[in-house]
Amino acid sequence: MPDVRKITIDQKIQEANDLIADRIREKRREYNIPMVDIMGSVGSGKTSILEFFAQKYRSSHKILVINGDLATDIDAQRIGRHGSTCLQINTGRGCHLLAFQIESAFEEIDLTNYDFIFVENVGNLICPSATDVGADKKIAVTSITEGPYVFQKHPITFKISQLAVLNKIDLAPAMELDVDSIISQANDLYPLLETIPTSTKTGTGMDVLAKRVGLEPK
Ligand SMILES: Nc1nc2c(ncn2[C@@H]2O[C@H](COP(=O)(O)OP(=O)(O)O)[C@@H](O)[C@H]2O)c(=O)[nH]1
Ligand SMILES: [Mg+2]
């Protein structure tokens, strides 16, 4: 009889990650700082949303952004210009952030200086959904320029998200797409998920989004 053993490394790595994610949540509870993990394809508007918030809430909130990117610090630089602190994590080939990277980022800063943390995860709508980075909420951002099928094609991502964003609605006429019908399609597919239509260019929906993520005006 051959000695064949199945070693579930993936599960162990996942368990180790989840322990760190719980530790992150515990630490944030101590400091009373909410944290939101923003997922979405490259170009959907994640950084633009964070720039909008950094600018709008710069005098009322102390926002920390942790940016995941394969190789550059372009997004951190963009957001940093609006006054938020940004910590850049380059993942190389890693298609999503891991909890230990967030925990290491926390070691670089004094958490008492912040009252809200955003994580901009690595740009894609698949891998980040599988990993807990210790946030309170995961938000899935898609945009009208990605076409009408994104909600259908990413069931896991939208099922595990607490909130979804359909960004770039100002471009709906150019895309010949109807925002209401995409939103109602999303509502039919994921009845428990709220999908907020936004445009970072016109500001449409951005106040609703801020409220839902917990960035209340102080
Ligand atoms: N027309 C339009 N362009 C947008 C909107 N939001 C972002 N963009 C543009 O889309 C491009 C990608 O946005 P970015 O925030 O870098 O996306 P990310 O890769 O998800 O972080 C940039 O050129 C933005 O100016 C929007 O609501 N409307
Ligand atoms: Mg970005």
Give 26's contacts (C-beta < 8 A, 6+ positions apart).
none
Tokens of 49: 């949303």
Q: Cα separation of 87 and 85, whole Å?
A: 7
CATH, domain range 9-209 = 3.40.50.300
Residue 204 pLDDT > 70, yes or no? yes
Q: Is 46 in the pocket of ligand 1 (CB under 6 A)?
A: yes
Segment 36-66, tens digit of pLDDT:
999 999 999 999 999 999 999 999 999 999 9
What's this model's pTM, rounded to 2 decimal places? 0.95
Q: How is the chain split into domains, by residue range?
A: 9-209
Q: Cα separation of 6 and 141, whole Å?
A: 37
Q: Cα separation of 26 and 44, whole Å?
A: 31
Pocket test for ligand 1, best of 39, 44, 47, 48 (most atoms within 8 A of CB): 48
The residues that bridge with 5 in the sheet, in sequence order, are none
Q: How confident is the model over 78-103, as a mean pLDDT?
A: 95
